Structure 1
Amino acid sequence: MKTDKRVVHMTTVHHPYDPRIYHKQCKSLQNAGFDVTLVARRDPKQNEEDKTIPHIKLKTYKSRLKRMIFGTYSAYRKAKTLKADVYTIHDPELLPVAWALKNKNNVVIYDVHEDYVTSILQKDYLNQTAKQLIAVGYKTMEKFFTKHMGISLAEKYYQDTYPEGVTILNYPTVNETFIEHERIGEVENSVLYTGNVSYVRGALQHGRLPQIDPTLTVHFIGKCPSELAEEMGVEAGNHRGQLKIEGIDSFVEKEDIEKKYLERNWLAGIALFPPTEHYMKKELTKFFEYMNAGLPIVCSNFPVWKAFVEKHKCGIAVDPTDNEAIKAAFDYLKGQPEEARRMGENGKKAVQEELNWQTQEQKMVHWYSALMNVESYERSIK
């Protein structure tokens, strides 16, 4: 299907080649025949020769305040000239921009990546009163600006907050190379963490894993602030050489992460997060990516996570504060290699048959197509 309908995706916060925005949503809509353009910040470190989506570049600001003022205004000016049929924003700070772009001849969509209210309430650098005030202010602003927007949701539980939202879940694209790859031979005493590294994503828990099990080497591939990498090294103590961090202060592309999965015969993919309201409710994207690559998962025993790995028989859930339980999980995988292989295969099968982007891609394309019937869309939101 080829159409003259133009779709513009906009972000001032995310990397221009963010997996959900660029590799999934933009590419899927382009493959479906839409004219797709990305408005996002410039990244001078990236090689754009193999990029297929037109990218209108925004200036990168180190100051968050400058980005929110000047970056959003620049995004508005550039996006307005494109006269798109659909504008999709990916950041809360672009809500006023989307509102200003909305007219009777187009559609605007807010793609919700995170539970932002919970995220605000978890900010350690704010006192309780400030957090409450900012959260209330954000909810009020969001309610006003999204009144005439379509809302897409990256996570199931976001529908508790946005019952009218459409779930476009962040499942992985099935990788044909992963399908053909088999976990054969001796498994290494190496575990893998992929994606951004942060405190709330268990950076310090993961950093101390070589102290818990001195035989383990822990590999991280994803953006990690250099200051945090130093703290992780302190947690590892005399074993800090067993922490391998790729992506210090720099974004790691999806293609590079996927190559990493095939580099070794990994013992497991890890997600030992501390308990926070947001992550305790969420099915992590990295779960699906570990499963896609055929890796067993070792994760925190939050009820949602424990139920997930038990349902798909793809890993072990443990108390992230219990060092003995964590070591026992790794010992089990090392001592039962056939069971570990079965866990990986179970996860891979679940992704291939059910938990994959192709199922969400069809839903997204049909939804965008329906929303472009502007008259019926306007009637649906009155």
Structure 2
Amino acid sequence: MRVCVGTIVHHPEDARITHRQIRSLLDAGHEVTFIAPFTHCNVTPSPEIRAIDVPRAVGLHRRKAVRAARSALRRGAKDADLILIHDIELLLALPRRRPPAVWDVHEDTAAALPTKTYLPEPLKNALPPVIRGMEARAERRMHLILAEDSYRERFAHDHPVVPNLTYVPDSPPQPPGDNRLVYIGQLAQARGAIEMIELARRLRPHGIRLDLIGPADADVRPLLRDAQREGVLDWFGYVPNKHALRMAEGALAGLSLLRDLPNFRNSTPTKVIEYMSRGVPVITTPLTRAASLVGRVDAGTIVPFGDVESVVANVAQAVLRLRDNAERRGAMGARGYFEALHHHHWPTIAGEFVAQLERWADTPGSPRARRNDTVVPV
């Protein structure tokens, strides 16, 4: 099977796209053409794929990227058995003559609008019905896979769920240490960036440092640079997922301080599973799914929502309690690792993901005619 995979929004080293899905397709013997912003992200494509470079869609500047993607998808679709896209923007760039197409729905785009600081308020109010209309049109014309079970309620029909699992080491990682916190992911105000900067200042006198691993929204970059110059934290910027997870090993705790916003409420933050997979205790705000996962196996601490000061105070208290109790944090890390290994290991669902794409590639036609799609186990 020849698969054309496309994104203009995500990094070419995105963990879900490249290190899980494309890796699984290649391991199964399939050929992959990957349309992605390689030059923009300073990434050298793997020799295992056929790469097509496009501009990246950033902020309000997306027209050029969509136009380039339209041309790239025409090229990629010529000899493909299936197209797999990862951005809602690419719904506007699909060629009319094409093989069966699949949209991997990563997020609730309409619910995420309040977190997009680059969007003017009138656009935030006007876009939700437009986005819902695009989703409904896509459901009628192509296949969908969903990253979260909760996304089902947005659509009229059933679609396979391919959750954001991770690769879990075969043997337990080193136990948690006592002087370093870690955060992996996009740094944004809605994701607790301000809280983490203040937390780093609060914990510096206690000899605890904070490692922030991930790209940052434009409005928080100056704050991060100032904090790094002060020596209160280390901000590494974007790091490929497999290397970021190695960096997390041995940390006292992993942070997930998402705010109480619609886009986050019914999602399981992937970083929570990733921390657990590396034996790192989790400190998370009480989003339903994150709190349920962490609380059910006692793999970390749940702190309440609140303003910046109250969140920082609660997290600092939780961190110091963990620092002073090596046995407790070691047990939390071990329980999290066991849970991740047995219930959140990507290879356990990779085969069914590939098999689902193979079925769609072999049976072109309207997805509405096949309403009982296979659901990948969560």
What is the TM-score when the length of structure 2 is the normalising length?
Answer: 0.87
Question: Of the candidates 8, 21, 44, which is equivalent to residue 48 of structure 1?
Answer: 44
Contact 2:224/2:235, CA 8 A, preserved across alignment? no
Cα offset, 1:296, TM superposition: 0.2
Residue identity in the other structure for 2:10: H
Query: In the alignment, which residue of structure 1 is the partner of 2:62?
Result: 65
1:315 equivalenced with 2:300 (yes/no)? yes
Please state whether the residue corresponding to 2:283 is helix, strand or coil.
Answer: strand
Cα offset, 1:286, TM superposition: 0.5
How far does the alpha carbon of each residue in 1:5-29 deviate from its partner, in whole angstroms, 9 at most, with x for none? Answer: 2111111111112111111101101
Query: In the alignment, which residue of structure 2 is the partner of 1:166?
Result: 160
* Residues 101/261 of structure 1: CA separation in 2 closer, same or farther (3 Å cut): farther
Query: In the alignment, which residue of structure 2 is the partner of 1:254?
Result: 241
Query: In the alignment, which residue of structure 2 is the partner of 1:108?
Result: 101
* Residues 44/307 of structure 1: CA separation in 2 closer, same or farther (3 Å cut): closer
Whole-angstrom distance in 2 between the partners of 1:26 and 1:304: 27
Query: In the alignment, which residue of structure 1 is the partner of 2:313?
Result: 324
* Residues 17/217 of structure 1: CA separation in 2 closer, same or farther (3 Å cut): same
Contact 1:99/1:146, CA 8 A, preserved across alignment? no
Residue identity in the other structure for 1:258: L
Question: Of the candidates 77, 81, 87, which is equivalent to residue 80 of structure 1?
Answer: 77
1:142 equivalenced with 2:139 (yes/no)? no
Query: In the alignment, which residue of structure 1 is the partner of 2:34?
Result: 38
* Residues 341/67 of structure 1: CA separation in 2 closer, same or farther (3 Å cut): farther
Contact 1:300/1:319, CA 8 A, preserved across alignment? yes
RMSD of aligned C-alpha atoms? 2.6
Residue identity in the other structure for 1:205: E
Please state whether the residue corresponding to 1:208 is helix, strand or coil.
Answer: helix
How far does the alpha carbon of each residue in 1:251-310 deviate from its partner, in whole angstroms, 9 at most, with x for none? Answer: 321233133124xx3110011122211112211110111011100000112333222211
The answer for unaligned runs of 5 or more in structure 2 is: 372-378
How far does the alpha carbon of each residue in 1:186-228 deviate from its partner, in whole angstroms, 9 at most, with x for none? Answer: x232100012211211111111103333323111111125752
1:297 equivalenced with 2:282 (yes/no)? yes
Contact 2:8/2:57, CA 8 A, preserved across alignment? no
* Residues 45/12 of structure 1: CA separation in 2 closer, same or farther (3 Å cut): closer
With 340-349 and 33-42 compared, the bigger mean Cα shift is at 33-42
* Residues 341/127 of structure 1: CA separation in 2 closer, same or farther (3 Å cut): same
Residue identity in the other structure for 1:167: V
1:276 equivalenced with 2:261 (yes/no)? yes
Query: In the alignment, which residue of structure 1 is the partner of 2:194?
Result: 204
Contact 1:193/1:269, CA 8 A, preserved across alignment? yes
Whole-angstrom distance in 2 between the partners of 1:240 and 1:76: 46
Contact 1:301/1:318, CA 8 A, preserved across alignment? yes
Residue identity in the other structure for 1:76: L
Whole-angstrom distance in 2 between the partners of 1:50 and 1:128: 40
1:364 equivalenced with 2:364 (yes/no)? no
Whole-angstrom distance in 2 between the partners of 1:325 and 1:117: 31
The answer for unaligned runs of 5 or more in structure 1 is: none
Please state whether the residue corresponding to 1:165 is helix, strand or coil.
Answer: coil
Residue identity in the other structure for 2:241: K
Query: In the alignment, which residue of structure 2 is the partner of 1:353?
Result: 342
What is the TM-score when the length of structure 1 is the normalising length?
Answer: 0.86
Cα offset, 1:116, TM superposition: 0.4
Residue identity in the other structure for 1:316: T
Whole-angstrom distance in 2 between the partners of 1:16 and 1:124: 23
Cα offset, 1:73, TM superposition: 2.3
Please state whether the residue corresponding to 1:167 is helix, strand or coil.
Answer: coil
Please state whether the residue corresponding to 1:55 is helix, strand or coil.
Answer: strand
Whole-angstrom distance in 2 between the partners of 1:65 and 1:375: 30
**Percent of residue pairs identical:** 24
Please state whether the residue corresponding to 2:94 is helix, strand or coil.
Answer: helix
Whole-angstrom distance in 1 between the partners of 2:186 and 2:368: 41
Cα offset, 1:245, TM superposition: 0.2
Query: In the alignment, which residue of structure 2 is the partner of 1:342?
Result: 331
Alignment of 1:149-188 (within 5 A): 149-162=142-155, 163-176=157-170, 179-183=171-175, 187-188=177-178
Whole-angstrom distance in 2 between the partners of 1:174 and 1:341: 17
Residue identity in the other structure for 2:342: E
